Amino acid sequence: MENKIIELDVREDLKNKIEPFQKIMDAIKGLEENDAFILHAPFKPVPLFAVMKAKGFTHDLEELEKKHWKVTFTKRGAQS
C-alpha cells in the first residue's frame, strides 16, 4: 500500500491574518503510519512541533528561501 502525502501551504492564510491551526489539524486526521504531511509556512512553526510530536509525528525542516519554510511531518508507528 502506498503512503499518503498531504501538502498544505499556509503562507497566504498567515499573510491574510487567518489562523491555519484547524486547517492543519483537519489535514492530518486520516494519516496513518509512515504517511507524510508537508507544510509550507513563512516562518519556522516551532509551537507546532510539540503538538505534532504528541500526535505521533516526527519532522524534518528545510528553509527553502527567506520566509518559506518546508516542514515534512511523518507519522510514526504506535507509541509504546
In tens, the pLDDT along 32-46 reads 999 999 999 999 999
What is the pTM assigned to this prediction?
A: 0.92
Number of H helices, E strands in the chain: 3, 4
pLDDT band at 1 (very low <50, low <70, confident <90, very high): low
Contacts of residue 78, defined as CB under 8 A and 6 or more positions apart, other chains included, come to 33, 56
CATH class of 5-75: alpha beta
Q: What is the pLDDT of residue 77?
A: 78
pLDDT band at 64 (very low <50, low <70, confident <90, very high): very high
Residue 33's φ and ψ, nearest 5 degrees, are: -50, 130
pLDDT band at 2 (very low <50, low <70, confident <90, very high): confident
Average pLDDT over residues 44-73: 97
